[in-house]
Amino acid sequence: MTTPLVEMRDMSISFGGIKAVDHVSVDLHPGEVVGLLGHNGAGKSTLIKMLSGAYRPDGGEIFVNGKRVSINNPRDARSHNIETIYQTLALADNLDAASNLFLGRELITSLGLVDDARMEAECRKIMGRLNPNFEKFSAPVSALSGGQRQSVAIARAVYFNARILIMDEPTAALGPHETQMVAELIQQLKAEGIGIFLIDHDVHQVMELCDRASVMKNGRLVGTVDIDKVTDDDLLSMIILGKQPGETTAA
């Protein structure tokens, strides 16, 4: 086995005396997609927010490439090549793809002006790698489809050297064609050795897109399973009953 890209060991956090995440351990390897499943309030988003720097854990350790790291804010996470793509995508609707790609990190000419031509050239280069069918480089992202907007958000993360991607329900509210586009993007990222944590509560999507799935219930880890060794019903049982495949319920 390779060294995990990231490993979260024994993570815990409480809010107002309620344990939102209770001693949970998960890991992620290069070129792997790990789904995080569970009902609303199961703790999956809270767990990942400790990795993205949005929350500071009460306990536990985070390792990146085998080395223990301290992540206290999103800047720390980015310094370890961890990027989060939230459901809202955090795109500036009135700007085009290149301007969104470099938002806050614009390329500048020798005269101190924004270098639009170079930014568009770089945008075309990375889009050619991730989504060769993308053509709307001059349109504001508000005019793009959901899948194309996902492409821009993913390109922004990858351009700035993300190795660990956190994706929050990337296919929510997308139609079949758009969902397929996102699935192809994820396959391309895997081929480049990028690891992805995929937060979702759609079992079918997780079965389709992920290599492993970690299921949470009431802040605890029910278990982590290989997708090719379980069925949809196995995952549903883990989510609803909080038990692993083959595990019998105590009388």
At 120 the pLDDT is 96
Residues paired with residue 114 on neighbouring β-strands, in sequence order: 108
Q: What is the pTM of this model?
A: 0.90
Single-letter code of the amino acid located at 140: P
- In the chain, what are the domain boundaries? 1-81+163-251, 92-162
Fold classified for 1-81+163-251: Rossmann fold (3.40.50)
Is residue 193 predicted with pLDDT exceeding 60? Answer: yes
Enumerate the H helices of 97-216 as residue ranges.
97-101, 116-130, 146-159, 176-191, 203-209
% of the chain exceeding 90 in pLDDT: 73
Per-residue model confidence (pLDDT) at position 251: 40
At residue 248, the pLDDT reads 57
Q: In the prediction, which pLDDT does 1 show?
A: 64
Q: Are 158 and 123 in contact (CB under 8 A)?
A: no
User: With contact defined as beta carbons under 8 Å apart, do 197 and 206 qualify?
Assistant: no
**Selection from 151, 100, 162 nearest residue 127 by Cα:** 151
**Would you say residue 164 has pLDDT above 90?**
yes
Reading across the β-sheet that carries 67-69, which strands appear in turn?
18-28, 6-15, 59-64, 67-69
For the segment 164-187, the average pLDDT, to the nearest whole number, is 88
User: pLDDT tens digit string along 2-47?
Assistant: 799 999 999 999 999 899 999 999 999 999 999 999 998 899 999 9
